[in-house]
Amino acid sequence: MISKKHVVTALVPVAVLSGAGVMAQDKPTADAAPATGAVEQVTVTATKRLTLVQDTPLAVSAFSGKDLEKAQVKDLSTMQALVPNLSVEQHGDSGGVHVFLRGVGSTNHTELGDPAVAFHVDGVYSPRPQGATVLMYDLASVEVARGPQGTLFGRNATAGSVNLVTAKPKFGDSSGSFGVVVGDRNHIGVQAAMNVPLAETAALRIAAISDRQDGWVEYQERSYVQPGARKYGASDQQGIRTTLVWDPTENLHTTTALEYYRDQGTGNVSLMQTPRAGQKWNSALIDTPGALDQDNTTFRTRIDWAITPSIELSYIGSVSSMSRTNASDNDAGVSPGFKQEHRTEWSRFDNNTHELNLKSTDDGAFQWIAGLFSINEDNKIRFDIDISTSPVVGTTGPIIVHPVADTDTAWAMSFIQPQRTLSSQAVFGQGTFKFNKEWAITAGARHTSEKKEDVGGRNWVCPQFGATVGTGGHLIGPGGPVNRETCNSDYDDALPAPDYGTWPGGGHNDGKTEDDANTYLGRLEFKPSKDLLTYATVSTGFKSGGLSDGGRRHKPEFLTNYELGAKTELFDRSLAINVAAFMMKYKDMQVSSIEYQSNGQQQLVTSNAAKATISGLEAEFSWRMSKADRFSGNFSFLDAKYDDFLTCDSALLTCGGAGNEANTVNLKGEQLPHAPKFSTTFAYEHDFTMPGGGLVVPRAQVHYQTRTKLGPFGDISPNASAAARATPDARFQDAYATVDLSLRYEEPKGRWFLEGYVVNASDEHVKTDASWVNGTAWTSFYNPPRTYGAKMGYRF
């Protein structure tokens, strides 16, 4: 379909007249190529075949690399306005992000959690949510499939999937490109790519990027930081990718890629929703400067063997390793005498994936695919929390971060998990039978079996909850010891300690869980003309069950989606419109939250807590209004509500026990978080032809969305403290609009360009979450403020 997809309310009546798709083919048909004045079409692999977006019978948005460049997209978080119902929530701990599609997502970004939106690079699954922050560079396209993708893509695609398609080497082509970007906050970025032919049937492509920018969160007076410390929000990212394509025979095609990515930024920090008097909104009282050091190394390979002219066997495999250390100021400086520092002292996440599939490649009436898939993970981590409180804090000088008085509280927790494993296998199959040119039917199913296990984990408290310096309290300190002599167990320390090597004693984090899941898809397609495709689909998806700290188990969650869709091209293919209406039934929804145990310890726990119904209408359009004018956009209406969710607002209220029954409520009928009732994006470009043939291209993009909840709870309970109730809208992001602008000059032959841009020109302060910190103040993570710069690119 379209290189960029978005929609206009006025076009809904036209789009709603359509309803289901054609059978997928391995190669787009020749007559599908856009004519002069037609919208550009992008191919996708959402059906595990190469198809044009307009010929793909599901809700999928696709963008070419050039589209992403024009929209100033460099990672998933900067792409969310382009995709209907996509929301990305920033977070400080673990360098993670929370991704939501159609109101469905996961708020557990740790090694314990699984995302609800599956993330892929060239069809290879990335299990860690930190993978969603990877820089997007040298891409052929990005595709976002909305709705459960449980049959072809399996686990953790409950809400949908994102696939980055990297640019591939070309035979017999010596070419390359490079670009430079400079901007505010000392932003400087450089990227380059080179295509190198090695033989008639072999070619190599090398692409690299470096991107650095200072942070945007100012230090408030009295912050305890060293001179020259970087501000939160700083980026320092590098990546390099080498891709080799080799066709040893006519029937054998191989692609191999080795990719390295490193992030040495500062991460993000939450900010007070109501700043202190005289302080800027984008400032914080910091006692732990942000630090992140994360690197990913991935090897991917794909082998396609045409066994016969009508059958192809494919192997898709990967091996990847990610390590990370980071530190963050979790208390956000809300209380000058209180400090809570979070640190990942060390972590490593190793995984490998394997897929073998066999599929038809001819033009017969029956098209099919069958396959096997497996993924194995082996993860380990040490995560520390240091907490201190000084009752007496002066009004001048630096804040106290090293307690010394007998009445100062100083204690710490350490979570050490030396082995956390996953083994998951699946078998799947899907077939499409085309009755005639108009009608086709598709059916598919997948069975997944997986095991998760935690071995030798320990939870430590050093030396006890709420201890003061006078009673032996102390902090661990970065990299400090964790053993029986310095820490207490959160279990009965009098019990004999099993021999777990360097982790004696401590609270146990051991457990096993096994799950089996069946997912399916059924679809009816109707194509009354070559420019109109309609479909009706029922599909299911699931997200893995798992273990929380202490061995607590949660079950998988399941989603069933009923969807009607239509894709059409009008006015000699100058206008493309895609629309989808859906209803999703959510069962055993996994909800992650901090729970306070009877001994006072905090634990991140995931529970199966809710049922929900999500209904909506999405539309996207791309309109080539004239040879010089392009107008594109999207809009969505969403009604996402809990059907049943019995819970307690543990952030503000005491939960459980006699006398606290009134604090338990059922959120039935309440709106889900990150599910605005209405959102829309419009983008407009015009080509001004200059003397000599060069083009000047102004571009404007506007995004608007209505008021949004930022967590399960919206309104603050009347049982909460007066301080918490003083800001009744703290857990909402009010309706807002953002504007992005750019002005581009392209040389007549398209070999180079210059561009100036401004993102969030209206400087909106957009919250992505809300937290009540230390019983003192509401905080939120925010999207970055206004950002501007200039860039140039050259192709040779």
Kindly tell me if the per-residue pLDDT of 44 is higher than 50: yes
Provide the pLDDT confidence category of residue 547 given band limits of 50, 70 and 90. confident
Instruction: Return the SS3 of 70.
Output: helix
E strand segments, 159-201: 160-166, 175-183, 187-199
pLDDT at 486: 67
Beta-bridged to residue 261, according to DSSP, are 239, 296
- Given a contact cutoff of 8 angstroms between Cβ atoms, the answer to whether 45 and 24 are in contact is no
Q: Which tokens hold the place of 196?
A: 């190198």
Q: How far apart are CA 517 and CA 447, in angstroms?
A: 6
Contact partners, residue 456, CB within 8 Å, separation at least 6: 417, 418, 419, 500, 501, 503, 509, 510
Contact in structure between 664 and 655 (CB atoms under 8 Å): yes
User: Distances from the Cα of 521 to the Cαs of 47, 150, 182, 370, in angstroms?
Assistant: 12, 8, 47, 14
- Looking at mean pLDDT, say which of 218-227, 286-295, 783-792 comes out highest: 783-792
Confidence band of 556 (pLDDT split at 50, 70, 90): confident
Phi, psi of 661 (to 5 degrees): -60, -35
Q: How far apart are CA 794 and CA 300, in angstroms?
A: 29
Q: Which of 62-76, 136-150, 177-191, 537-551 has the lowest mean pLDDT?
A: 537-551
Neighbour tally for 328: CB within 10 Å: 27
What is the Cα–Cα distance from 399 to 385, expressed in whole angstroms? 19
Residue 184 clears pLDDT 80, i.e. is over it: yes
In the chain, what is the greatest distance between 2 CA atoms, to the nearest angstrom?
A: 86
How many CA within 13 A on the CB side of residue 294?
25
**Tokens representing residue 339 in the block:** 């400090």
Q: Which of 595, 516, 496 is closest to 550 using CA atoms? A: 595
Identify the band that residue 36 occupies on the pLDDT scale cut at 50, 70 and 90: low
Count of residues making up the chain: 796
Tens digits of per-residue pLDDT, 78-105? 888 999 999 887 776 666 678 889 988 8
Please tell me the distance from the alpha carbon of residue 445 to that of residue 370, in angstroms, as a whole number.
10
In the numeric block, the tokens 């005639």 are attached to 436
Q: State how far the Cα of 347 lies from the Cα of 379, in Å rounded to an integer.
A: 8
d(CA 345, CA 386): 12
| pTM, entire model | 0.89
Pairwise CA distance, residues 315 & 300, whole Å: 11
Containing H/E element for 356? strand 338-360
pLDDT digits (tens, 9 = 90+) for 331-341: 888 988 888 99
What's the CA gap between 765 and 782, in Å, rounded? 7
Spatial distance between the Cα atoms of 288 and 383, rounded to a whole number of angstroms:
15
Is 31's pLDDT higher than 50? no
Say whether pLDDT at 465 is over 80: no
> Taking CA 379 as the corner, what is the angle to CA 373 and CA 382, rounded to the nearest 5 degrees?
160
* pLDDT over 70 at 587, yes or no: yes
Q: Is the pLDDT of residue 390 over 90?
A: no
Q: What is the pLDDT of residue 198?
A: 96
Higher pLDDT, 394 or 7: 394
Q: How many CB atoms lie within 10 A of CB 569?
A: 25
pLDDT at 26: 43
* CA 219 vs CA 329, 333, 432, 606: distances in Å: 12, 10, 59, 34
Distance CA 599, CA 474 (A): 18
Residue 12 has pLDDT above 50, yes or no: no
Q: Partners of 450 in the beta sheet?
A: 424, 515
> For residue 783, which phi and psi values (nearest 5 degrees)?
-70, 155
What are the φ and ψ backbone dihedral angles of 531, each rounded to 5 degrees?
A: -105, 10
Contacts of 691 (CB under 8 A, 6+ apart): none
Give the residue among 36, 139, 159 at the shortest CA–CA distance from 560: 159
Whole-angstrom distance, CA of residue 60 vs CA of residue 84 = 10
Residues in Cβ contact with 496 at an 8 Å cutoff, skipping those fewer than 6 apart: none
Whether pLDDT at 600 is above 60: no
Residue % of the chain over a pLDDT of 90:
61
Name the helix (H) or strand (E) containing 296: strand 291-308
Rounded to 5 degrees, φ, ψ at 304 are -115, 120
Q: What pLDDT score was predicted for residue 76?
A: 81
Residue 67 host element (H or E): helix 65-70
**What would the mean pLDDT of 122-143 be, rounded to a whole number?**
80
Tell me the two tokens of residue 645. Answer: 């969710």
Q: In degrees, to the nearest 5, what angle opens at C-alpha 201 toward C-alphas 197 and 202?
A: 45
Tell me what the mean pLDDT of segment 228-250 comes to. 95
> Looking at residue 13, what is its pLDDT?
31
Q: What sign for the dihedral angle of Cα 452, 608, 119, 734?
A: negative
Query: For residue 469, what pLDDT band results from cuts at 50, 70 and 90?
Result: confident
**Alpha-helix runs per DSSP H in 77-181:** none
The beta strand positions in 250-290, using DSSP E, are 252-263, 271-272, 283-284
Of 2-6, 421-425, 731-735, least confident by mean pLDDT is 2-6
If one compares 124 and 683, the residue with the highest pLDDT of the two is 683
Question: For the stretch 75-88, what's the b/e string if a residue is b when 16 or more beta carbons lie within 10 angstroms of its beta carbon?
Answer: bbbbbbbbbbbbbb
**pLDDT above 50 for 8:** no
Strand 124-126's sheet: what is its strand order? 60-64, 139-146, 160-166, 117-121, 124-126
Of 50, 94, 107, 164, give the one whose Cα is nearest residue 607: 107
What's the mean per-residue pLDDT of the chain?
86
Strand, coil or helix: what is 133?
A: helix
**Residue-wise over 691-717: b if at least 16 C-beta within 10 A, else e?**
eeeebebebebbbbbeebbbbbbbebb
Type of residue found at 728: P
Task: Give the per-residue pLDDT at 400.
Answer: 74
Which whole number is the average pLDDT over 52-59?
A: 94
- Partner residues linked to 556 by β-bridges: none
Alpha-carbon 588 to chain mean position: 22
Q: What is the pLDDT of residues 643-677, one digit of tens each?
A: 998 888 888 888 877 888 888 889 999 999 999 99
Q: How far is CA 166 from CA 5, 130, 562, 795, in A?
A: 20, 19, 32, 17
pLDDT for position 606 = 74
Look at residues 422, 594, 600 and name the one whose alpha carbon lies nearest to residue 507: 600
Check whether 551 has a pLDDT greater than 60. Answer: yes
- CA angle centred on 378, ends 377 and 384, rounded to 5°: 120
- Cβ-based neighbours of 621, under 8 Å, separated by 6 or more: 2, 5, 6, 7, 8, 11, 15, 575, 576, 577, 578, 632, 633, 634
- H-state helical runs in 96-228: none
Measure the CA–CA gap between 179 and 591, rounded to whole angstroms.
43
